[in-house]
Structure 1
Amino acid sequence: MALRGQLSGNLKELRFLFCQTSPASTATREFLQKKYIDLKTLNPNLPILIRECRGTQPQLWARYDMGVERCVRLNDLTETQIIKKLEELAKEGEAKA
């Protein structure tokens, strides 16, 4: 994940929403268990929020300057696909800057 250390420069906040038990959220849960510490260590000033709620479809929200937000769905994605979505959001933030 080449952009993971540059997230805080392009984004103001990341929010992961998912269900604690649904199969559609499995990859998102595993991604966060494996990558959260790494993401936070490389981006210490970037708020990374984790919201768990039963029945919630897995989503990744990115907040940019001026309160602009973008959401991507993470239903049944693999870890590699989630990383790709995160990188796309970061690049979009770079374009907005």
Structure 2
Amino acid sequence: PLEGPLTQAQIDITDMDSCSNAYRSIKGATVDERVICALSPGGQDACQGDSGGPLILPKQINQKINFYLLGVVSYGYKCAEPGYPGIYTKVALYVDWVKRNMR
């Protein structure tokens, strides 16, 4: 096992209404269909330096675990601030762009 800084956290996807309400008063925050909001009841979340990191869903199919990239860390209010989910860019909306720009 790795020691030192937290390298992963188990977080739950939050409904968009709750997320929108949380960020309503935060200037510059955009919560729309392009993002996934997620938080941890244990107070773990992405922080400075984590931007671009993966939001991954592990899913067992037969005897194998597959990992699906749902989002990438975008921003949040402070770090793991209670009541403020982390904001992740929804990768599924950008798959065509990624394919067009891969070399």
TM-score of Structure 1 vs Structure 2, range by shorter chain: under 0.3
Structure with more helix by fraction: 1
Q: Normalized against structure 1, the TM-score is what?
A: 0.26
Q: In terms of Rg, which structure is larger?
A: 2
Higher relative contact order (CA 8 A, sep 6+): 1
Q: Normalized against structure 2, the TM-score is what?
A: 0.25
